[in-house]
Structure formats: structure tokens, C-alpha cells
């Protein structure tokens, strides 16, 4: 558990905590990504900064908008829905026609964004829209990512997540 915020995720390495999803990704990349191992972050400093910017966007903006969207009702819900869709469209623009956010290889930004795919069913049920229609390239990317064993084996089931969100947020 994070000793400051009393939250997860936390990676314990050599008996010491590394806290926060984005910090853990960077730490893992720097600690175990050398000596010819596949890196999560791009080696190019500008591309690395770009990946970090968008990872922070997802961590700070998309997550909070998603929570507001799932918790709210009425006009606030409608506004949060549009904001969430705009944010997902922005991610779709960043992805473009590439296989993964960094190009041909699964990278850090893919690892940051893909957990949100477990909430797609909930988004669509709660918001009355289709992400396949709203963000078709992003949905193709989701399917590509889910073909990877490393992703498929750790993602929670969409229906289970929807039921969990109904319980947490009172989603109907």
C-alpha cells in the first residue's frame, strides 16, 4: 500500500515501495528494460516526453472524467459524457493509424490506456452510445491489444467491471 495515500498500486522491489501506476511503469522500464530487453518507453527523448504527457492525460483527466460520468445524473452526466468522448477521441487522434501508440510495438502508453477498455461496456450502457461508432480506430486498437496474452490475462471482464461500477457508483 502507498504509505502516503494508503492506496494501490504499489510495487515492492528490494523491500521498498514504488508507488503509483505511472511511476511503476517508468521504474520497471528503467530497472528491467536494459541489456537488449524490450523497453516500454521510447528511446527518443521527444517521443518519451510525448508518451509521458499522454499517460498523464489519461491518469489525471480521463480517469476523473470517467468517475464523474459514472457517478453523475442529468445535465452533469451529459456534460461528463461529452467530455469523456472528447478525451477518447483525442486519444484516437494520437493513435492515428498506428498499430500501437508508439508504432509497431506495445509500449507504456498502451499499458496506461488499455485498462480503460474494461469499462467500455459500462460506458456504453450508462451513456447510451457505441464506442465502435464514436472511436472506431481506438476500438480496433483495443481488439489488437486484447489479442496479446500479456493483456488478455490481466484485464478484468467488462461485465464484471460494469457490475462493480454499479455497486461503487450507483450506476443503473
CB 102 within 8 A of CB 47: yes
SS3 103: strand
Q: Are residues 31 and 102 in the same domain?
A: no
pLDDT at 8 over 80: no
Integer Cα distance of 73 and 95 in angstroms = 31
pLDDT at 7 over 70: no
Q: Are residues 55 and 5 in the same domain?
A: no
Please return the burial class of 37, using the count of CB atoms within 10 Å of its CB with bins 0-12, 13-18 and 19+: exposed
What's the average model confidence in pLDDT over 151-162? Answer: 92
Q: Are residues 10 and 77 in the same domain?
A: no
Domain range enclosing 75: 45-169
CB 42 within 8 A of CB 107: yes
Q: Are residues 32 and 106 in the same domain?
A: no
Say which residue, 11 or 35, is predicted with more confidence: 11
pTM for this one? 0.88
Which CATH number characterizes residue 140's domain? 1.20.1050.10
The number of folded domains in the chain is: 2
What confidence score (pLDDT) does residue 6 get? Answer: 61
CB 121 within 8 A of CB 61: no
Residue range 20-61, pLDDT digits in tens = 899 999 999 999 987 777 889 998 999 999 999 999 999 999
What confidence score (pLDDT) does residue 83 get? Answer: 98
Percent of the chain clearing pLDDT 90 (strictly above):
73
Amino acid at each position: 500500500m502507498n504509505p502516503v495515500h494508503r492506496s494501490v498500486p504499489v510495487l515492492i522491489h528490494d523491500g521498498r515501495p514504488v508507488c503509483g501506476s505511472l511511476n511503476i511503469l517508468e521504474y520497471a522500464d528503467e530497472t528491467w528494460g536494459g541489456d537488449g530487453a524490450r523497453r516500454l518507453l521510447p528511446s527518443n527523448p521527444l517521443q518519451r516526453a510525448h508518451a509521458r504527457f499522454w499517460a498523464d492525460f489519461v491518469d489525471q483527466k480521463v480517469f476523473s472524467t470517467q468517475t464523474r460520468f459514472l457517478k453523475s445524473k442529468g445535465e452533469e452526466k451529459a456534460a461528463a459524457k461529452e467530455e469523456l468522448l472528447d478525451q477518447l477521441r483525442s486519444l484516437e487522434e494520437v493513435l492515428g493509424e498506428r498499430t500501437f501508440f508508439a508504432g509497431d510495438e506495445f509500449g507504456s502508453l498502451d499499458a496506461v490506456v488499455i485498462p480503460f477498455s474494461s469499462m467500455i461496456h459500462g460506458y456504453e450502457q450508462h451513456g447510451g452510445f457505441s464506442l465502435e461508432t464514436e472511436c472506431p480506430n481506438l476500438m480496433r486498437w483495443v481488439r489488437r491489444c486484447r489479442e496479446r496474452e500479456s493483456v488478455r490475462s490481466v484485464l478484468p471482464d467488462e461485465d464484471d467491471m460494469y457490475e462493480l461500477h454499479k455497486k461503487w457508483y450507483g450506476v443503473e
